[in-house]
A and B are shown apart, each in its own frame.
Chain A
């Protein structure tokens, strides 16, 4: 590369200007919807990243649904039958989920189900909407999420279980089923609900690791590759996306408080 060529590329990328000016140029471009071109592929960044979004959403949403379906009912059960075998099962499930490194569980799942047993494919997204390809990564990301759900739901239910109004409801002969789901669960919902919004954001931005383990063609894998290639335009758009998702989800959680608990109203 000749020095002239070097200067030319620098000018093209705007690197001849001071850093502060560069920042405002970048900011202006972002605000006007111009996210630039990927340095690696010379394609518009929106296209490179846009292609990856469905894969990440698919995995993140599936993990979120699975974690909610397992964690919340198990938390209720574990609190209601405290000290029973279910409580122990639930709590050990949570303990393992929070202490096992996710990437290691992923690798072990590949070893067991793909290499040794040969039941499920070990990587990639497969053609179209492939449940078989989704199964392992979804279960792995759902485990630790379900563990946190379980702990939150359990402690919220336990607190409510001791309350006076629940004793009254029980005394006047409300059936156990409506006692749990109508009287107790609705009031215990606040903390799992907050968590579920954060979790959704966390799962979408947190699939970085699992996408790498399972060669899942999503945003996280693309971001890690972009970092390796010094592909700054791609990195910045992914970071902006993840941050927006986080802020948006927290906003939704705040709104839903008021919806669920009428005592909280924002003026």
Chain B
């Protein structure tokens, strides 16, 4: 762009800065007001986990003893020169039995995503249903449901989860069920509170008077009112669930090997910390990026969709 053109642009927009600064400023404003970066990060992880088998550069459970604890190829090219018999390079290094860290990360993203999605959907349906029933009908139902929520809150979840995993044997379905147990009560509590308010509103009373059936009132009139809360709680839950899944895997109560989960990878890398930091560091960064983006998105959704739940910013 010539100086002339820039001057013209200045005159036409009456902004005294060069155009690229105001463009950057606008860009920055958009970044601040909308969770673009978190969405990009999450989209990348989502795409990677959906197409995991196509994207993995190597078989994630294929061992290769020549490549034991091989460093990331960019980090220590000399190591590969010293081991000429190894016929491949590892972009993010290899673990203690020579499995490719990058491929395992990709496989781990898929497992995390699946287990969290299943747990969250189940917890959401069960929790929302119980919250609707408790809030709308009140009385004995409400009392039973809310006392169950209270009792559940007092149970030390980690210990229970490890016990269940040891007694029943760790597996994908056990992990998913455990995570359901972690989510349902949050939905019940918040949705019940919302229903208590909504059922006193005039439009609900009028539809009662008009003779609508109870299921119809619940589904057509009350449920749409709690939908925003439901979405917000769902997004706010994802980060915690990913952390919980990783923690359980780390403690050995997660989905068993040789399949990779991020928590398990960190656990396996612990013993080789001083020789091969890459086994432990990269899965941790992956967990952090996903959880952080999810938390950002959740906060934004809450402010956008449900001002009642908002904390001052």
Contact = CB atoms under 8 A, between A and B. Distances in A.
A99 B239 contact: yes
Contacts of A212: 251
Interface stretch (A26-34, A60-68, A104-112, A173-181): A104-112
Contacts of B313: 155, 158
Contact of A99 (B154, B277, B295): B295
Given A101-B287, A239-B156, A243-B156, A111 B273 contact: yes
Determine the interface band of chain B, counting residues with CB < 8 A from chain A: 20 to 34
B162 interface: yes
Contacts of B162: 224, 227
Interface stretch (A5-13, A15-23, A202-210, A255-263): A202-210
A104 B284 contact: yes
Of residues B243, B263, B283, which shows the largest number of chain A Cβ atoms within 10 Å of its Cβ? B243
A133 B263 CA distance: 25
A104 B158 contact: no
Contacts of B153: 246
A242 B288 CA distance: 29
Interface string B129-172: 00000000000000000000000011110111011001000000
B250 interface: yes
Contacts, number: 99
A247 B155 CA distance: 10
Contacts of B246: 101, 103-104
Contacts of A103: 246-247, 250, 263, 266
A164 B3 CA distance: 53
What is the interface residue range for chain A against chain B? Answer: 35 or more
Contacts of B213: none
Contacts of B274: 111, 115
B69 to A, nearest CB: 15
Given A155-B311, A227-B166, A99 B266 contact: no
A243 B154 contact: yes
A228 B277 CA distance: 28
A95 interface: yes
Contacts of B273: 107, 110-111, 115
Contacts of B40: none
B158 A155 contact: no
Contacts of A96: 292
Contacts of B251: 208-209, 212, 224
B51 to A, nearest CB: 25
Contacts of A155: 311-313
A48 to B, nearest CB: 16
Secondary structure at chain A's binding surface: helix, strand, loop or mixed?
helix
Given A206-B158, A243-B155, A95 B295 contact: yes
B291 interface: yes
Interface string B237-264: 0010001001100110000000000010
A223 interface: yes
B280 interface: yes
A227 B166 CA distance: 7
B8 to A, nearest CB: 36
A51 interface: no
Contacts of A239: 155-156, 159-160
B86 interface: no
Interface in B279-293: 280-281, 283-284, 287-288, 291-292
A111 B277 contact: yes
B32 to A, nearest CB: 12
Interface in A196-252: 205-206, 208-209, 212, 223-224, 227-228, 230, 235, 238-239, 242-243, 246-247
Contact of B154 (A101, A110, A247): A247
A100 interface: yes
A151 interface: yes
The 3 closest A-B pairs by CB, nearest first: A155-B311, A158-B312, A99-B292
18 contacts: A95-B292, A100-B288, A101-B247, A101-B250, A101-B266, A101-B287, A101-B288, A103-B266, A104-B287, A107-B280, A108-B284, A110-B273, A111-B274, A111-B280, A154-B312, A159-B312, A239-B155, A243-B154
